[in-house]
């Protein structure tokens, strides 16, 4: 699987959406690096000033400053389009794609999903992914890449003053992912239980009132709401421990460079200008990371939402030809076997023919499979074994929407 395909499935994107997100990573990285250019200009300005050669290079620094401003404006504009604008376009594509996919997914999928779960996926999860994709993911990934590149450059410039705290911060952030992912999954489950309770209460409000059961039902729902609230606090606390630790260690980078540089300067191992340059860079290098780390929880939590969206987008759909070649309308079941949960069979070796122009009655006890037969004939589900034909056509090879043009269900 290519990097683009991994991004596409990880964040439930279209093919174009995955390309746009990769562009967003690159644009944010470049934008963060360009913001370091003025630091470089200041370094050379001080160097020339201390060397007494500044007088004849005023025009050079003026032009350089204008170029820096232009580059910052251009890269910021490109970054905005690559993150915000592209994300909003993708958000519209995602919602339309979800609607189209739900229209084609077999009904067996809906038998495994509660209405509140699907509603939450289509509405809340889409909104969350829109925010995260525009404000969080590109900024965090770009900040990590740009900070690592600048830190690596400084390491080659003078390894003795290299920012040793950066790998430690990355390690803390990486370790937090597994913990936060576990907390987010449990939080999502509690939210779905709460949403199911609310949905059930709205659907059965007449029965609850008729049986004077409102108070008992609300007590149970109140427990679910409090469980969501309690675990939300635990989740936030768990994330805060990792993020705060990483941010504190990043702050130590300035002190580390100042202390190491002071010792080397006292020994005469480096000059004042190099010491000044490192202090200048280290005061700016952590800014993107500091801001992005605050959104780390949202990014990790988004993995759960994207998995729920991708479950729908990646689900297999029923396909077939749009060309009908039926001869008459006889419906024939031949040795059909079917089960809803792939465990207990509802139908076993069912064989019969419902002939055109005649009335065929299915008679049996409740739960015997009468309704299931009508659903299978219309290909609401696909059978496990056997064959169903309409006018001699195997319905498993016909597009479900085209097949429905032959049916009227009362």
Return the pLDDT at 71: 92
Q: What is the C-alpha separation between 209 and 308, in angstroms, rounded?
A: 35
Tens-place pLDDT, residues 102-137: 888 887 777 777 777 788 888 888 888 888 888 888
**CB-count burial class (<10 Å; 0-12, 13-18, 19+) for 388:** buried
State the chain's mean pLDDT as an integer.
82
Identify the CA nearest to 177 among candidates 148, 144, 149.
144
Neighbouring residues of 93: CB distance < 8 A, sequence distance ≥ 6: 14, 16, 17
pLDDT value, residue 163 = 53
d(CA 111, CA 27): 43
Cβ neighbours of 174 (radius 10 Å): 11
Q: Do residues 93 and 16 lie in contact, with contact meaning Cβ atoms separated by under 8 Å?
A: yes
In tens, the pLDDT along 219-250 reads 888 998 998 888 888 887 877 777 777 777 77
pLDDT at 36: 83
User: 361 and 353 in contact (C-beta within 8 Å)?
Assistant: no
Residue 38 and residue 26: Cα distance in Å, rounded?
20
49-61 average pLDDT score: 74
Nearest partner of 13 among 79, 118, 92, judged by Cα: 92
- The mean per-residue pLDDT over the stretch 72-90 comes to 90
Distance, in Å, from the CA atom of 25 to the CA atom of 18, rounded to the nearest integer, reads 11
Q: Which two tokens stand for residue 397?
A: 């090879």
User: Nearest-5° angle of CA 84, CA 89, CA 95?
Assistant: 120
CA distance 11 to 126: 11
- The span from the CA of 398 to the CA of 393, in Å, is 8
Of the chain, the percentage scoring pLDDT greater than 90 comes to 9
Give the whole-angstrom CA distance, residue 1 versus residue 9.
10
- 313 pLDDT band, cuts 50/70/90, is confident
pLDDT surpassing 60 at residue 165: no
Instruction: Return the higher-pLDDT residue of 376 and 110.
Output: 376
3-state class (DSSP) for residue 164: coil
> CA-CA distance, 73 to 69, in Å (whole number)?
6
Query: And the tokens for 204?
Result: 């059965």
* DSSP state letter for 150: H
């Amino acid at each position: 699987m290519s990097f683009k395909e991994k991004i596409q499935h990880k964040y439930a994107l279209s093919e174009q959406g995955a390309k746009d997100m990769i562009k967003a990573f690159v644009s944010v990285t470049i934008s963060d690096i360009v913001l370091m250019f003025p630091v470089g200009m200041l370094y050379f300005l001080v160097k020339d000033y201390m060397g007494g050669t500044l007088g004849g290079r005023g025009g050079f620094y003026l032009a350089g400053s204008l170029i820096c401003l232009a580059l910052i404006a251009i890269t910021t504009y490109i970054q905005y389009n690559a993150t915000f604008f592209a994300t909003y376009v993708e958000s519209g594509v995602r919602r339309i794609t979800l609607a189209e996919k739900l229209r084609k997914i077999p009904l067996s999928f809906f038998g495994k999903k509660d209405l509140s779960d699907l509603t939450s996926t289509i509405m809340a999860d889409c909104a969350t992914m829109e925010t995260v994709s525009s404000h969080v993911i590109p900024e965090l990934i770009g900040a990590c890449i740009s900070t690592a590149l600048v830190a690596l450059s400084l390491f080659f410039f003078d390894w003795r003053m290299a920012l040793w705290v950066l790998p430690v911060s990355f390690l803390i952030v990486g370790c937090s992912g597994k913990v936060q992912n576990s907390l987010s999954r449990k939080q999502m489950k509690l939210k779905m239980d709460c949403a199911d309770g609310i949905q059930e209460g709205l659907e059965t409000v007449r029965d609850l009132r008729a049986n004077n059961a409102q108070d008992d039902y609300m007590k149970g729902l109140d427990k679910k709401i409090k469980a969501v609230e309690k675990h939300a606090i635990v989740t936030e606390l768990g994330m805060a421990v990792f993020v705060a630790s990483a941010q504190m260690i990043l702050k130590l980078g300035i002190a580390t460079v100042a202390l190491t540089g002071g010792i080397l300067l006292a020994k005469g191992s480096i000059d004042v200008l190099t010491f000044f340059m490192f202090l200048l860079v280290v005061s700016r290098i952590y800014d993107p990371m500091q801001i992005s780390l605050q959104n780390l929880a949202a990014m990790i939590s988004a993995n759960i939402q994207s998995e729920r969206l991708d479950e729908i987008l990646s689900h297999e759909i029923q396909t077939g030809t749009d060309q009908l070649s039926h001869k008459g309308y006889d419906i024939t079941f031949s040795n059909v076997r079917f089960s809803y949960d792939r465990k207990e069979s509802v139908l076993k070796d069912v064989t019969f023919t419902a002939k055109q122009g005649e009335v065929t009655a299915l008679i049996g006890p409740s739960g015997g499979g009468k309704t299931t037969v009508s659903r299978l004939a219309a290909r609401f589900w696909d059978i496990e074994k056997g064959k169903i034909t309409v006018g001699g056509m195997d319905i498993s090879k016909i597009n479900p929407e085209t097949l429905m043009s032959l049916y009227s269900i009362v």
